[in-house]
């Protein structure tokens, strides 16, 4: 692309779109061009390159965090979604990733706390995590079990069910915020662990996508409550619908005492 000065702006853009990657030499040529719109392309590509470097470093640090927990053959991360909603299940996921082959091309970029991702990005990462994971599994407790045994018990239980569902037995389970009791391996837990651990963050994504799909199905069955948007949480719209239309078979009665009475 040494003849950039002879190419019009459209041709420059088409060339950049046709190549798989842009190196530093091309960026420097763009930034040295006399045309401001070509300079702007170079500036944008430079910013994108810096973001890619920062993202790779962030993801590597999350893999390294898990790997540096100690000498463990298999480490699983667990996280849950759905502790607080008025309706629907609580869901946990357990994920085992390869923490030892840290070549750049093997890392799953973009993984972070599921709440910080768009629905579309979560779905893309959910598919990729499942393809790359050594093993993953889901644990679930429905609203009836939550009402019968309490949310704290169910929270721990769905972790246990997810861990038990793994095809490989972990030596270490890393959890977000709270310990997991009653499991047959070591457990370490960290405040805001989904920002530190690649395995916890991956589990948060899988659990979130799985539960959201459940609530989307419930939306079709109970459209008055807009479960597709609120996924069971106590939004003003959801509470108003409960008062107007009553409860559904998926509502948590133990969570509705202050609303119904």
> Residues marked as binding for a divalent metal cation?
79-80, 176
Annotated binding site: 79-80, 176
Instruction: Say how far apart CA 74 and CA 126 lie, in whole Å.
Output: 21
Residues 6 or more apart from 58 whose CB is under 8 A from it? none
**CA 90 remoteness from chain centre:** 16
Question: For every residue of the chain, which 3-state class applies, written as one string?
Answer: CCCHHHCCHHHHHHHHHHCCCCCHHHHHHHHHCCCHHHHHHHHHHHHHHHHHHHHHHHHHHHHHHHHCCCCCCCEEEEEEECCCCCECCEEEEEEECCCCCCCHHHCCCCCCCHHHCCHHHHHHHHHHHHHHCCEEEEEEECHHHHHHHCHHHHHHHHHHHHHHHCCCCCCEEEEECCCCCCCCCEEEEECCHHHCCHHHHHHHHHHHHHHHHHHHHHHHHCHHHCHHHHCCCCCHHHHHHHHHHCCCCCECHHHCHHHHC
């Amino acid at each position: 692309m040494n003849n950039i000065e002879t190419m019009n702006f459209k041709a420059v853009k088409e060339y950049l779109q046709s190549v798989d990657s842009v190196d530093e030499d091309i960026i420097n040529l763009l930034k040295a061009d006399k045309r401001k719109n070509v300079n702007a392309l170079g500036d944008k590509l430079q910013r994108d390159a810096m973001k890619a470097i920062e993202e790779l470093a962030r993801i590597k640090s999350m893999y390294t965090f898990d790997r540096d927990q100690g000498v463990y053959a298999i480490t699983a991360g667990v996280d849950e979604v759905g502790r607080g909603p008025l309706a629907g299940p609580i869901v946990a996921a357990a994920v085992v990733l390869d923490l030892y082959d840290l070549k750049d091309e093997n890392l799953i970029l973009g993984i972070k706390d599921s709440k910080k991702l768009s629905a579309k990005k979560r779905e893309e990462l959910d598919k990729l995590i499942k393809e790359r994971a050594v093993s993953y599994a889901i644990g679930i407790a429905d609203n009836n079990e939550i009402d019968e045994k309490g949310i704290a018990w169910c929270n721990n239980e769905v972790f246990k069910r997810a861990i038990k569902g793994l095809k490989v037995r972990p030596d270490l389970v890393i959890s977000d915020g709270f310990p997991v009791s009653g499991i047959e391996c070591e457990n370490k837990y960290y405040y805001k662990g989904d920002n530190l651990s690649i395995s916890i963050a991956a589990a948060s994504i899988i659990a979130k996508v799985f539960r959201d799909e459940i609530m989307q199905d419930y939306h079709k069955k109970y459209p008055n409550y807009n479960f597709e948007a609120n996924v069971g949480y106590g939004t003003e719209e959801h509470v108003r619908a409960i008062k107007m239309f009553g409860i559904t078979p998926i509502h948590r009665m133990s969570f509705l005492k202050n609303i119904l009475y």
